[in-house]
A and B are shown apart, each in its own frame.
Chain A
Amino acid sequence: MRVDRRLVAWLLPLGVALLLALLAASHSAAREAAPASADPALEARVQRVASELRCLVCQNETIAASNAELAVDLRNQVREMLRAGQSEREVFDYMTDRYGDFVLYRPPLNNATLALWFGPFVLLVLGLLSLWWMLRRRNRLPPDRFEADENP
Chain B
Amino acid sequence: MKRLRFLWPLALFLGVVVLLFAGLGLNPREVPSPLIGKPAPAFALPKLHAPEQTIRRDDLLGKVWMLNVWASWCAPCQEEHPLVLDIAKRNLVAVYGLNYKDQGDAARRWLARLGDPYVATLVDADGRIGIDYGVYGVPETFIIDRQGQIRFKHTGPLTPDVLRTRIEPLLKELQGAG
**Per-position binary interface string of chain B over residues 1-35, scored 1 when its CB falls under 8 Å from any chain A CB and 0 otherwise:** 00000000000000000000000000011011111
User: Size of chain B's interface in residues, with CB distance under 8 A?
Assistant: 16
With A70-B136, A73-B127, A77-B131 known to touch, is A98 a contact of B31 (CB < 8 Å)? Answer: no
User: Size of chain A's interface in residues, with CB distance under 8 A?
Assistant: 15
**Is A100's CB under 8 angstroms from B34's CB?**
yes
Chain B nearest CB, measured from A61 CB (Å): 13
Q: How many residue pairs, one in A and one in B, have C-beta atoms under 8 Å apart?
A: 37
Q: Is residue B132 within 8 Å, beta carbon to beta carbon, of the partner chain?
A: yes
**Is B136's CB under 8 angstroms from A56's CB?**
yes
Candidates A57, A59, A69, A98; contact of B134 at CB < 8 Å = A98
Q: Is residue A96 within 8 Å, beta carbon to beta carbon, of the partner chain?
A: yes
- Chain A minimum-CB-distance residue to B31: A102
**For A70, what are the chain B residues with a Cβ–Cβ distance below 8 Å?**
127, 136
Q: Is residue B101 within 8 Å, beta carbon to beta carbon, of the partner chain?
A: yes
**Is A57's CB under 8 angstroms from B133's CB?**
no
Query: Main SS of chain B's interface residues?
Result: loop
User: In the complex, A73→B28 CA distance in Å?
Assistant: 22
**For A117, what are the chain B residues with a Cβ–Cβ distance below 8 Å?**
none
**Per-position binary interface string of chain A over residues 69-81, scored 1 when its CB falls under 8 Å from any chain B CB and 0 otherwise:** 1100110010000
**For A69, what are the chain B residues with a Cβ–Cβ distance below 8 Å?**
101, 127
User: In the complex, A78→B33 CA distance in Å?
Assistant: 20
**Is A98's CB under 8 angstroms from B101's CB?**
no
23 contacts between A and B (CB under 8 A): A56-B31, A56-B137, A57-B136, A57-B137, A59-B28, A70-B127, A70-B136, A73-B127, A73-B131, A96-B34, A97-B34, A98-B34, A98-B35, A98-B131, A98-B132, A98-B134, A99-B31, A99-B134, A100-B31, A100-B32, A100-B34, A100-B134, A102-B32
Starting from the known contacts A97-B34, A98-B133, 14 additional A-B residue pairs (CB-CB under 8 Å) come to A56-B137, A69-B101, A73-B127, A96-B34, A98-B34, A98-B131, A98-B134, A99-B33, A99-B34, A99-B134, A99-B136, A100-B33, A100-B34, A102-B32
Listed in ascending order, the chain B residues whose CB lies under 8 Å from chain A are 28-29, 31-35, 101, 126-127, 131-134, 136-137
